[in-house]
């Protein structure tokens, strides 16, 4: 046997690795969609008949995503959903995952919010596409903290890489990404 031999075990490993990566990509569509206020991208993380139980709100993808983007737009200047540790249990075309999240929100009023918890998901692969079929958001902590006052010069340098917007004008949508400073407007 050589290293190039495709054993049944190796083939199965590659298939499972592909499924796991597609699940991670699905969950990143959710976080990027909500943070960029990209409704279609956020909804693409769900199957149309999915259900999301978020504690403060729950619903089908259309209702929940509209609520989430609307809530963040009304109460925060900016926010980030960061996903971290993750377990994925594959069972054919179904998977169960637990993904730790960290949330930061710069509130329109009051100090910034810091929250963390876990997304517990049942995902299903339908017609070759992984998406969330059911989500329970386990909110483990939500609180606030005091932000630091930085000198104006430092704040200007931090914003020089922008634009930092919650829509498709954000720098993350620029293709191709170049050093062209004209895009910073």
Whether residue 2 is contained in a domain is answered as no
**Rounded to whole angstroms, how far apart are CA atoms 133 and 24?**
15
Whether residue 129 is contained in a domain is answered as yes
Tens-place pLDDT, residues 119-136: 999 999 999 999 999 999
Same-domain pairing of 34 and 120? yes
Tens-place pLDDT, residues 15-36: 999 999 999 999 999 999 999 9
User: Residue 171 has which token pair?
Assistant: 């720098």
- Identify the domain containing residue 166 by its residue range: 157-185
- Name the pairing type of β-strands 113-126 and 76-91: unpaired
Same-domain pairing of 26 and 103? yes
Tens-place pLDDT, residues 96-115: 999 999 999 999 999 999 99
Whether residue 152 is contained in a domain is answered as no
What are φ and ψ of residue 15, in 5° steps? -60, -45
Least confident range from 33-42, 85-94, 117-126, 159-168: namely 159-168
Number of domains in the chain: 2
Whether residue 1 is contained in a domain is answered as no
Mean pLDDT computed over every residue of the chain: 91
**Rounded to whole angstroms, how far apart are CA atoms 38 and 131?**
17
* 185 has a pLDDT exceeding 70: no
């Amino acid at each position: 046997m050589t290293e190039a031999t495709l054993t049944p075990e190796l083939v199965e490993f590659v298939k499972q690795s592909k499924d796991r990566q597609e699940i991670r990509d699905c969950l990143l569509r959710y976080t990027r969609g909500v943070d960029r206020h990209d409704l279609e991208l956020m909804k693409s993380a769900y199957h149309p008949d999915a259900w999301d139980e978020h504690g403060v709100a729950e619903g089908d993808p259309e209702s929940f995503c509209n609520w989430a983007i609307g809530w963040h737009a009304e109460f925060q200047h900016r926010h980030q959903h960061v996903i971290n540790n993750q377990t994925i249990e594959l069972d054919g075309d179904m998977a169960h995952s637990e993904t730790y999240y960290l949330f930061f929100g710069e509130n329109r009023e009051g100090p910034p919010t810091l929250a963390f918890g876990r997304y517990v998901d049942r995902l299903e692969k339908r017609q070759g596409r992984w998406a969330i079929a059911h989500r329970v958001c386990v909110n483990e902590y939500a609180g606030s903290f005091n932000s630091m006052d930085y000198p104006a010069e430092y704040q200007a340098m931090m914003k020089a890489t922008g634009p930092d917007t919650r829509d498709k004008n954000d720098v993350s949508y620029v293709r191709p990404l170049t050093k062209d400073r004209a895009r910073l407007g």
